[in-house]
Structure 1
Amino acid sequence: MYKFDVQHIRLGISACLLGGKVRFDGGHKRSVYCSNELARYFQFVPVCPEMAIGLGAPRPSIRQVQFAEQIRIQNVKGELDVTDELQRYCQQKVATLDFLSGYILCAKSPTCGMERVTVYKAGTNNGSKSGVGVLAAALQQQWPQLPIEEEGRLNDLHIRENFFTRVYAYHDWQMLQQSGVSRHKLTDFHARYKYLLLAHCPKLYRELGPLLADASLPEAAVAERYFVTFMAALRHQASRNNHTSALQHIQGYFKKSLSKQQKAELSQAIMDYRNGLKPLLVPLTLINHYLQEFPSPYISRQVYLNPHPQELKLRYAY
């Protein structure tokens, strides 16, 4: 079973979320969850584009303004335009962040907002929540598979679990790349993620096997296509029905080992989960218990059973 190294994984984060007094009013938006909980498991890389281009704090607030042909980043009065400086910095900075395994952004910010950033009509205070922050857009363009989330959305337990599942999977892929990708390693990687992929998106899981078996494609092309589809599958939130299917597949590996009573106990635990009577941790705990008694190397290596450290308490939502 995979062992997680504390603070081995590096996450980008909006500097204000760690308590940095970098906001336009000289304040911060410190996140207790990020600062107190996540800091024990990740090494944060704080970034504030507005400070980086020399705006200082406090400073005039800036916003996205829609002109006929483009969106500009200006202060409220319009005499300060930092569009070019911000875009240049964000593109250059993001290009150096290939070591990150995820990014947590501050919502609504004209530089960091992942979505629903207010874009004002030029010369008015009328706006629509249709924008994307300059840094967020650069991240999505440069590293399209990188897990990115806004801090506030992490209050949703399903979004939180999905985000960190992708962070740990992304990091696992980075480790594979560093060791040198081969078809054998790709096949082994895919085998370890079988049931996690089934829990998230069975359709895309079924596309990955034939891709790995396609001998007509160069190894590098297979790896690239695999990773794109792999991350797309994990972006789907795991459903109760898909979790049930994954659990039942795993259950099949114990059919020759468990007693009649143990089989009934595991089946009941899975059905109780499917019917919403018990949390996902109940059948998972039972499976892990049976693995201690009846070892199965193939099942023990399944990332599904241990996609992130238990101490993060991410599976409490299911």
Structure 2
Amino acid sequence: MDTFVRPVVGVSSCLLGASVRYNGGHSRNRFLTDELNRHVDWLPVCPEAEIGLGVPRPTLRLQDSEGAARVISSATGTDHSDDLSNVANRHLGRLARLDGYVLKNKSPSCGLFSLPVFDGDGNRLRGTGRGAFAERLTTLLPALPVEEQGRLSDPALREHFVERVFAHARLRALIEGEWAVRDLVAFHARHKLQLMAHSPEGYRETGRVVAKAGAHDRERAAATYAEAFHRALAVRTSRGKHANALQHVFGMISPLLDDTRRHDLLAGIEDYRRGNAPLSLPVALLRHHCTAEDVTWASEQTYLRPYPETLRLRHPVSV
């Protein structure tokens, strides 16, 4: 059985079912509560409740003020922007140890993408705002995997987010422990294909950092590697890059297989590349043959097991 580092993930409290929304309700997300919940530890935060706005409460909106989007109460006109930002400041010690964050979409405090911005008369001006808490969170922790709840309904975005969360947890566990350069080298070797599947240049950059790690102090080496590692995995992958990574594994085990098994593997990779099969099909075939032929380097690649199998995130054909 695979052993995974258990990530710690921040989350808007309402997404776990807490009745803290402006109307006294919640926005429970079943993927988070019924599936991901078994594999992560949560840090729930409701910025609006935390600053004492109450439940239920008057609605908030983003309002333009000299070119800046401020969070204004629709009932009183009070500006709550700084208070909401300070929630992230107060929690920074805990937030810095997170491996990801899921925010409530369309929220003036937690919304991440394209929130509507209004003028003082309530007329919509543009749709490029970001919630005050979300803005401060992403400023403080730019490398943290962060996603909106609404976008998790997209299989590709969901898979990418979860993959980054578990990779973040693995690197955090390494850096927080007593590690030597050889441990960083081993970590990088296990993540080779995963990095290549997202950013070949990112793989080369992280490799250069590892090669020079012994020449720097541990903290500097770890920080430089972490920055390059997270930047590489933040790049969206594609069918072509996935197929290239699969071909790399195939190349490792091909000499050990007979013609029939080689043909089956190549057919599985090609079916995926053409969009006729899910990524899980060639991955399962490669894992099976790597284990059967005892190809240790390939079987230990995190690319083949980036997160627990029970999440079934590579099963949709669209991924």
Q: TM-score, normalised by structure 2?
A: 0.92
**Contact 1:114-1:132 within 8 A present in 2 as well:** yes
**Contact 1:273-1:283 within 8 A present in 2 as well:** yes
User: How many residues are paired up?
Assistant: 316
C-alpha spacing 1:58/1:246, structure 2 compared with 1 (3 Å): same
Name the SS of the counterpart of 1:104 in structure 2: strand
Instruction: Give the C-alpha shift of residue 149 in structure 1.
Output: 0.4
User: Which residue does 1:247 correspond to in 2?
Assistant: 246
Query: Which stretch shifts more, 73-82 or 193-202?
Result: 73-82
Distance in 2 between residues matched to 1:258 and 1:195, nearest whole Å: 21
Of 65, 68, 71, 1:67 maps to 65
1:1-318 matches, cutoff 5 A: 2-4=2-4, 8-68=6-66, 70-214=68-212, 217-317=216-316, 318=319
Distance in 2 between residues matched to 1:270 and 1:126, nearest whole Å: 48
Matched-pair identity in %: 36
- Which blocks of at least 5 consecutive residues in structure 1 are unaligned? none
Instruction: Give the C-alpha shift of residue 194 in structure 1.
Output: 0.5
Distance in 2 between residues matched to 1:66 and 1:293, nearest whole Å: 62
- Which blocks of at least 5 consecutive residues in structure 2 are unaligned? none
C-alpha spacing 1:3/1:96, structure 2 compared with 1 (3 Å): closer
Across the aligned residues of Structure 1 and Structure 2, the Cα RMSD in angstroms comes to: 1.9
One-letter identity of the residue aligned with 1:4? F
Instruction: Give the C-alpha shift of residue 2 in structure 1.
Output: 4.3
Distance in 1 between residues matched to 2:254 and 2:78, nearest whole Å: 70
Name the SS of the counterpart of 1:12 in structure 2: strand
Instruction: Give the C-alpha shift of residue 219 in structure 1.
Output: 4.0
C-alpha spacing 1:289/1:71, structure 2 compared with 1 (3 Å): closer
Distance in 2 between residues matched to 1:299 and 1:154, nearest whole Å: 30
Instruction: Give the C-alpha shift of residue 102 in structure 1.
Output: 0.8
Distance in 2 between residues matched to 1:229 and 1:105, nearest whole Å: 25
Distance in 1 between residues matched to 2:292 and 2:36, nearest whole Å: 33
Instruction: Encode CA deviations 1:160-216: one digit per residue, 9 max, x unaligned.
Output: 000000000000011001213432121111100001111111122122212222365
Instruction: Give the C-alpha shift of residue 69 in structure 1.
Output: 5.8
Q: TM-score, normalised by structure 1?
A: 0.93
**Contact 1:114-1:137 within 8 A present in 2 as well:** yes
Instruction: Encode CA deviations 1:65-88: one digit per residue, 9 max, x unaligned.
Output: 211164332212553222332222
C-alpha spacing 1:131/1:293, structure 2 compared with 1 (3 Å): same
Instruction: Give the C-alpha shift of residue 217 in structure 1.
Output: 4.6
**Contact 1:12-1:104 within 8 A present in 2 as well:** yes
Instruction: Give the C-alpha shift of residue 225 in structure 1.
Output: 2.1
Distance in 2 between residues matched to 1:78 and 1:120, nearest whole Å: 16
C-alpha spacing 1:277/1:88, structure 2 compared with 1 (3 Å): closer
Query: Which stretch shifts more, 146-155 or 269-278?
Result: 269-278
**Contact 1:11-1:43 within 8 A present in 2 as well:** yes
